[in-house]
Chains A and B, each alone.
Chain A
């Protein structure tokens, strides 16, 4: 095993910021939830049912799927050039999943009851169950794979098989998360056979963005990177990422147009979405990042832009599907007003803090820069 140049980017400041975020978000979220229960959220039976905490979950769970995809380029599909990122991606796929689960657990009415009630009464027709099962299995496989590569076993048949199984469960999980929304024929904003594909595609984008971002955070700048990392970061990675992002921009564009065009009840929310400055910010961030990736310029900024854009996209997706009231009455608004509460935003801060603290911790203690010897 070669140990490449030790990380010398702003790992400690990121760790401190993550820690501070953890303390602040946990303190505020817990005190509000203890005092008010879920009345501390702005969700409601006559309003938005799944609010920002679910947006966080979808965002981070899919980032986890995406990171596993990035890691698999080297580990499963054998592209040697991608090895320098693999271990970081495996670690981060675990951390992002934990972050997503944390937000979801604080959203559930009875998170502990879930631990026995689902296994004992497993409902096979619920996409939520399969998604949970696949993500749970991935968590185990991901940890096993990480332990393997941590001790230097990158390529033994067992290690490869665990890696492949982890990839397959992550894809099934991300796809199943797509199905949890895509199967809802009563909510046309979500409904569609291709939603799982949309989720996996956008997951890959966020996975790529996190991989790129933490690489820059680890080394600070291009010049500080080991040769192999630099040639990946300045070569195949931005190219593949740009291709993926270009495709995704196309898909998002057509999704929007179809939403605007159709008269189906529930799709009027698209008028509201395109009237929002956040939508145009998302569009600008995506197109801007696409350009930067093509030009191989300011790649850390491009990664941040993609992360921000997809957070907005997940928000519009999850919340947008619920904004058209199922029945309109005299005092039911055309669209349901919703803006997340302070407590909900704290769960977003919590999830991001877990990710950055967890990454920095790994960077310091787990030799995330390691890659297999030779080649």
Chain B
């Protein structure tokens, strides 16, 4: 069984947000509630200010604290290494949002993160969070795929509706390969500079493992012990994409 993982090359990432937009379209996300987001942050003062950015999906942790705290096992890990939420079991306690060190989970039933409130325009009648005019081809509540129902939590699925259909034993889902492109997560497929790689972390010959090995892939907040399955390459050539420091200077 594969253990899907992602590598994001910060030397290539331009912070263009195409991944976030693709994710939003693919997964019918509400504005501001992108499963995949690029964080921007500034450090330093004139004349040496720095603008940095950081692309951040769910890390699909090997030891997902979100799963360990979930009282109903609504959050679970698939055999192929992806953390999913069963919306039929989620009670909306939000403990997973508390326990996720990466802040990548969303509860529906709240004020919109971005105004104007499109939930009011495309009303989901309290059953779904909203009812957009276009919809993804799939709705699979047991895997947390599709439009989020009311009162539950959602998160990035690594586009499970795509990757789970990939031929077994595929080491890498390379968007450049016409045979495989339909199975590639939307953010990986759309990334213009090709900063994202997606493949099997259990296969020592996969390109993702080669990159992690050759370029010293690092994991975000590794001290939490969550062991992300998303790795970052932070080579010296990175323009401005960088792993954010934690405690910023006091204001």
Contacts and interface: CB of A to CB of B under 8 A. Distances in A.
Interface residues of B, number: 54
Contact of A110 (B91, B95, B247, B248): B91
B109 A109 contact: yes
A114 interface: yes
Interface string A119-135: 01111011111001000
Interface string B47-68: 0000100101000000001001
Interface in A26-66: 37-39, 41-46, 49-50
B117 to A, nearest CB: 9
Interface in B133-154: 150-153
B188 interface: no
Interface string B188-207: 00000000000000000000
Contacts, number: 146
B72 A330 contact: no
Interface centre among A38, A109, A132, A325 (most CB of B within 10 A): A109
A187 B74 contact: no
B69 A330 contact: no
A264 B72 CA distance: 32
A49 B33 CA distance: 15
B126 to A, nearest CB: 7
A334 interface: yes
Contacts of A295: none
A43 B250 contact: no
A118 B109 contact: no
Interface string B98-136: 111111011111111100000000000010000000000
A326 B98 CA distance: 10
Interface in B8-64: 32-33, 39-42, 51, 54, 56
Contacts of A108: 91-93, 151
Contacts of A110: 90-92, 151-152
Interface in A302-354: 322, 325-332, 334
Provide the main secondary structure of the chain A interface. loop
A45 B34 CA distance: 11
Contacts of B51: 330
Nearest to A104: B93
B89 A113 contact: yes
A120 B71 CA distance: 10
B176 interface: no
Contacts of A184: 98-99
Nearest to B69: A126
A108 B74 CA distance: 14
A315 to B, nearest CB: 16
A151 interface: no
Contacts of B244: 327-329
B80 to A, nearest CB: 21
Interface string A203-223: 000000000000000000000
A187 B139 CA distance: 34
A46 B68 contact: no
A38 B192 CA distance: 38
Interface string A260-295: 000111001001000000000000000000000000
A114 B72 contact: yes
9 contacts: A37-B109, A41-B110, A44-B110, A109-B91, A121-B72, A132-B71, A186-B224, A265-B246, A326-B102
**Top 5 A-B pairs, shortest CB-CB distance:** A109-B92, A109-B151, A186-B101, A265-B246, A326-B103
